[in-house]
């Protein structure tokens, strides 16, 4: 059966005539066991589309490189066909890289949606608020002072990201965490941590500096199963945990007073989801480096795709809802597509994906600031 429900958007009287301007199509699906699940038809369609695009981009990326392969050859190798050379190229060289890209994109997309929802600010992104810089400081300290291997660098990145998150929480706490205070403290912390990154670079020798610069750029080059397995385990635990808090996060977007009235323990939910998102960001950064702007752009693009057409086109922070699943899928699409584009434009392993996402994301940030200023929000 189907029903029409309001999406939470403010609806003007003249927009209605009995129907809300933001009305959504929701279908209730009943299983044989009596379980009933409500599906937002537009969100489901957008999610399936993003999943298909992500898988298509993954197949195209696996087929790219010095030894190009057609999609049919890639699919044959993935399903056990093809010759021994194709099996080795796909399973040992390219598949781990693509899986890391998909997992990192999901992690950045979901965590970015959490940060923007909690702060109620479109600039609430890990790379804007200093969490990525904190991971960079931890990784560089491991490289410069301990000459750590890949596992040590990853551990340093996780420790730096989590430590930065705790520090920002403590500095921003005053009878709870207010969105704009959280953003301002995060931006200030990010500036200080970037200065620490520059200091560590001056203390490094030429070999360490080269290694640190390569890591800080953000790249999927050389990623193997050693990065896939721990990142997959982290995502398997933390992403479902954040999805479990999807409804309270939606209530938080209505404001603290409304969330309290609806029975949400605001401070507890905010702390749990932020700490979980920080660990998720730190793990993704440890696997691929601080790839910029994916966490900023993915949630907003996902929200725009999920908006009814009549509500589009005004403002830089479309609503409603955190759209965690769509944000994760959009993050995967953006990262894998950017890596494929960098290979097509500049050759295999010539341009790290972090450079391309930084250029495109920087342009998106300028557009976002312009639209926010035009709307009177900044």
Q: Would residue 8 count as lying in a domain?
A: no
Q: Hey, which bits of the chain come out as E strands? A: 2-5, 24-30, 36-40
Domain hosting 73: range is: 53-308+315-374
Q: Do 262 and 251 form a contact (C-beta atoms < 8 A)?
A: yes
On whether residue 323 sits in a domain, the answer given is yes
- Decide: 287 and 104 in contact? Cβ < 8 Å: yes
Task: Tell whether 35 is covered by a domain.
Answer: no
In a domain, 25, yes or no: no
pTM: 0.83
CB 164 within 8 A of CB 133: yes
CATH number of domain containing 144 = 1.10.3470.10
The tens-digit pLDDT sequence of the chain (378 residues) is 333 333 333 333 333 433 334 445 666 566 565 555 666 788 888 899 999 999 999 999 999 888 889 999 999 998 888 788 889 999 998 999 999 999 999 999 999 999 988 888 777 788 888 888 898 899 999 988 888 888 888 899 999 989 998 898 888 887 766 667 888 888 899 899 999 999 998 888 888 888 888 888 888 888 889 889 999 999 999 999 999 988 888 888 777 777 778 788 877 888 889 889 989 999 999 899 889 889 989 998 888 888 765 444 444 444 445 689 999 999 999 999 999 998 888 876 678 888 888 888 888 878 877 776 777 665
Instruction: Give the distance between the most distant pair of CA atoms in the chain.
Output: 70
- The one-character DSSP state at 94 is I
| Cβ-defined contacts of 148-155 (< 8 Å, 24+) | 150/226, 151/226, 153/215, 153/286, 154/227, 154/230, 154/286, 154/287, 155/286
**Burial tier of 30 (Cβ tally within 10 Å: 0-12, 13-18, 19+):** exposed
Residue 316: predicted pLDDT: 42
Query: How many CB atoms sit inside 10 A of residue 359's CB?
Result: 12
Q: What is the pLDDT of residue 213?
A: 83
- The rounded distance, in Å, linking the Cα atoms of 155 and 160 is 9
Cα(119)–Cα(93) distance, rounded to whole angstroms? Answer: 40
Q: Which residues partner with 26 through β-bridges?
A: 3, 40
Domain for residue 40, yes or no? Answer: no
Number of structural domains (the chain) is 1
Task: Please choose, from the candidates 359, 363, 342, the residue with its C-alpha nearest in 3D space to the C-alpha of residue 351.
Answer: 342
Burial class for 31, CB neighbours closer than 10 Å (0-12, 13-18, 19+): exposed
Tell me if 291 is assigned to some domain: yes
Is 166 a domain residue?
yes
Cα separation, 262 vs 7, whole angstroms: 16
In a domain, 196, yes or no: yes
């Amino acid at each position: 059966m189907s029903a029409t429900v309001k999406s939470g958007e403010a609806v003007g009287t003249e927009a209605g005539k009995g129907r809300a301007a933001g009305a959504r199509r929701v279908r209730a699906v009943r299983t044989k066991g009596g379980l009933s699940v409500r599906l937002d038809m537009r969100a489901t369609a957008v999610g399936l589309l993003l999943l298909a695009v992500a898988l298509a981009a993954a197949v195209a990326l696996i087929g790219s490189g010095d030894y190009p392969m057609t999609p049919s050859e890639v699919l044959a190798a993935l399903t056990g066909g093809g010759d021994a050379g194709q099996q080795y190229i796909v399973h040992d060289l390219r598949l781990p890289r693509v899986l890391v890209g998909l997992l990192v994109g999901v992690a950045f997309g979901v965590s970015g949606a959490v940060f923007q929802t909690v702060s109620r600010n479109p600039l609430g992104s890990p790379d804007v608020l200093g969490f990525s810089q904190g991971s960079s400081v931890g990784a560089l300290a491991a490289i410069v002072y301990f000459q750590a291997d890949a596992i040590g660098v990853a551990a340093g990145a996780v420790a730096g990201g989590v430590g930065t998150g705790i520090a920002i929480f403590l500095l921003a706490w005053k009878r709870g965490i207010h969105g704009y205070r959280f953003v301002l403290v995060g931006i200030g912390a990010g500036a200080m941590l970037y200065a620490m990154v520059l200091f560590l670079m001056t203390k490094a020798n030429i070999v360490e500096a080269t290694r640190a610069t390569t890591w800080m750029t953000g790249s999927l080059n050389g990623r193997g199963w050693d990065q896939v397995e721990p990142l997959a385990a982290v995502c398997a635990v933390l992403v479902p945990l954040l999805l479990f808090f999807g409804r309270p996060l939606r209530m938080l977007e209505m404001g603290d007073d409304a969330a309290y009235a609806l029975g949400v323990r605001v401070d507890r939910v905010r702390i749990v989801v932020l700490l979980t998102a920080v660990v998720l960001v730190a793990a993704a950064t440890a696997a691929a480096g601080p790839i910029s702007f994916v966490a900023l752009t993915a949630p907003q693009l996902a929200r725009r795709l999920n908006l009814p057409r009549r509500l589009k086109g005004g403002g830089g922070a479309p609503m409603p809802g955190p759209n965690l699943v769509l944000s994760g899928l959009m993050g995967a699409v953006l990262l894998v597509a950017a890596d494929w584009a960098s290979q097509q434009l500049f050759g295999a392993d010539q341009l790290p994906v972090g450079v391309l996402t930084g250029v495109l994301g920087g342009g998106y940030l300028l557009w976002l600031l312009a639209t926010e200023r035009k709307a009177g929000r900044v």
